[in-house]
Structure 1
Amino acid sequence: MDLDLALHVNEPLIPKESSTPEERSLYESWERSDYLSVSLIKTHARDFIKAIEEQFVNADKMLANTLMKRLSGMKFDNSKGVLEHIMEMRDIAARLKSLEIEIFKSYLVYLILNSLSTEYGPFKILYNI
């Protein structure tokens, strides 16, 4: 079938009226091989691209799951400032948004307030009022 002819032989010149039958035959064989090779590549490339897309979807779901667990389980531990803690939670929410999972602002504020320690109780009360 000479399927790999187009891969091993450079494209021959397009036959002219003065070309020999062998040159014409070589060009026709090469052209057929090129067409079949491209068709084969296109067929398998679609399957390959689809498999890659499925891998990214699974990776995105796992990342979103990890970020959601991290966001909902965060607690302020005085190891850094309150501002840094809040900014970290906001950054996680932004990463989730880039994965097309939007956290409503009111829910994010709820998560932030609940992550603060009891010493921030007056602040929580003031916010809720």
Structure 2
Amino acid sequence: MNRVSLPVSVNSHTSSIPILNGTNFSEWNEQVQFNLGVLDLDLAFQIEKPTAITGENSEEEKSLHKVWEKSNRLSIMFIRMTIANNIKTIIPQTDSAKEYLKNIEERFRIADKSLIGKLMANLTTMLFDGTCSMHEHVLDMTNHVAKWKILGMNVDETFLIQFILNSLLTQYGPFQIHYNTIKDKWNVNELASMLV
């Protein structure tokens, strides 16, 4: 089993990840896990640590242990390279990449919950004021909902459509009435194309 082979551009992978600063855990976590997978360093997250090597282990077991150890060690280093220095000091150290990431998650899930409230407030108060195109307005509202999904909240599309309709100027009143009376409701993309 020869799994951990690093491309020359490991540094470019770490530089593409936003530095964990305490307010961006979900985005950071998603990027870290994606990049570890792309780099083929995620074995330490996929399987538990193999048992200690003894003289009775097969060559395959020895190889797996060696690859897992390398994956684990490089994953910890990779994760640490993407964390702000002031945050590194508050995360309990461990020799397991999986446990290290769990420690970080426990520390920053609370910050994500406050971000959900901010995103909710932004979405519920957004109004189309004509300073951007209707398409951009709908896209902006859709992006807010996408951020919720990253934070683990699923938002029904009909909920989003209702927020979009509620954000429109009064001149769109007849359109809102028409939408609410039709039998087959549109999805967000259809709604956006109808509003253009």
Q: TM-score, with normalisation over the residues of structure 2?
A: 0.40
Q: 5 Å matches for 1:47-126?
A: 49=100, 52-126=104-178
Q: Structure 1 residue 45: deviation in Å?
A: 2.6
Could you tell me which amino acid in structure 1 is paired with residue 174 of structure 2? P
In structure 2, distance between residues paired with 1:112 and 1:52: 35
Aligned letter for 2:170? T
Question: Identity of aligned pairs, percent?
Answer: 41
CA RMSD of aligned residues (A): 1.9
Aligned residue number for residue 28 of structure 1 = none
Instruction: Decide which structure has the larger Cα Rg and report it.
Output: 1
1:1-34 Cα distance to aligned partner (Å, 9 max, x none): xxxxxxxxxxxxxxxxxxxxxxxxxxxxxxxxxx
**1:23-38 counterparts in 2 under 5 A?**
none
Q: What is the DSSP-based 3-state SS (H/G/I as helix, E as strand, rest coil) of the residue aligned with 1:75?
A: coil
- Gaps of at least 5 residues in structure 1 are 1-43
1:73 and 1:66 map into 2 onto residues whose CA distance is: 11
Shift of residue 58, structure 1, vs aligned partner: 1.4
Report the Cα offset of residue 104 of structure 1: 0.8
| Pairing 1:38-53 to 2, within 5 Å after superposition | 45=93, 49=100, 52-53=104-105
Q: May I ask how many residue pairs the two structures share in their alignment?
A: 85
TM-superposed CA distance for 1:95, in Å, is 0.9
> Which amino acid in structure 1 is aligned with residue 93 of structure 2?
A
> By how many angstroms is 1:110 displaced?
0.7
Once the 2 structures are TM-superposed, how far is the Cα of residue 89 of structure 1 from its aligned partner? Answer: 0.3
Counterpart CA distance in 1 for 2:105 and 2:168 is 39
